[in-house]
A = this chain, B = another copy of it.
Amino acid sequence: MTTASVDAVADQDRKGPGRPRSARADEAIIEAVLELLSAGQSADALSIEAVAATAGVGKATIYRRWPNKEALLIDAVTTMKGPIPEPAGVSVRDDLVTLLAGMRTKRMHRYGKVTACLLPELVKSEEMHKVYQAGVVEPRRDVMRGVLRRGVESGELRADLDVELTLLMLSGPAIVQNMLRWNPAVPDEGFAEHLVDAVLRGARA
């Protein structure tokens, strides 16, 4: 007994014949991933079978869209991260604090766990690394890079500032601290402000 679905809205530009892919399935799958990540503790214990069952979808429907579990997780994480916050442009310091603090929102409570579970695959597969960089990291880095560049142009920051290294000095500590709780001696409270101030101390004109 099969279930004869009522949904058949294409979600991607295919010209060929054949039944188009169900947009409903896409949503259900991503939603199932996020739900399972919320409920269950571990995120690499997330199995495709469980996702399929939760989404009410066949396994093949998942494998038709994503080549493996990690690609699916990347999409889910991208969805979870939501839109990129646009800084107000008041001052370099405030903009950077806003952006860094945005990495620690409540809705990203489990973002660290999920991303940590992605890392093995990012390190293993060059292709996955590219996808993640291009789809998740670079867009956010672009915003921050814009803030720094405007700071240089406005004279607020040193003219010879190494922008790329500075980006790394801002995001690197935030990542290992937020995600991996690397240095337990550093308090969460006011972390973004302290970090930005420390970095800017060596970056101002």
Instruction: Report which A residues bind B (CB closer than 8 A).
Output: 2, 17, 41-44, 112-113, 116-117, 119-120, 122-124, 129, 133, 137, 141, 162, 164-169, 171-177, 179-186, 194-195, 198-203
With both beta carbons as reference points, the residue of chain B lying nearest to A132 in the complex is identified as B180
User: What is the oligomeric copy number?
Assistant: 4
Given contacts A119-B116, A120-B44, A176-B175, contact A141 B202 (CB under 8 A): no
Q: What are the residues of chain B within 8 A of A116 when measuring CB–CB?
A: 119-120, 122-123
Given A17-B2, A174-B172, A176-B175 in contact, is the A198-B165 Cβ separation under 8 Å? Answer: yes
Tell me the smallest distance from the CB of A58 to a CB of chain B, in Å: 9
Q: Is the CB of B169 within 8 A of A183?
A: no
Q: Considering residues A167, A176, A181, A195, which has the most beta carbons from chain B within 10 angstroms of its beta carbon?
A: A176
Cross-chain pairs A/B with CB under 8 angstroms, 21 sampled: A44-B120, A113-B123, A117-B119, A119-B120, A122-B180, A123-B180, A141-B183, A162-B198, A165-B173, A166-B198, A168-B183, A169-B169, A169-B195, A169-B199, A171-B183, A172-B177, A199-B202, A200-B202, A201-B202, A202-B202, A202-B203
Q: Which residue of B lies closest to A42 (CB)?
A: B124
Known interface pairs A117-B123, A141-B183, A162-B194; 16 further A-B residue pairs with C-beta atoms within 8 A, sorted by A's residue number: A43-B124, A116-B119, A117-B119, A119-B120, A119-B180, A123-B180, A129-B181, A165-B194, A165-B198, A166-B198, A167-B183, A168-B186, A169-B173, A171-B183, A198-B202, A200-B202
A3 nearest CB neighbor, chain B only: B17
Q: How far is the CB of A122 from chain B (nearest CB, A)?
A: 7
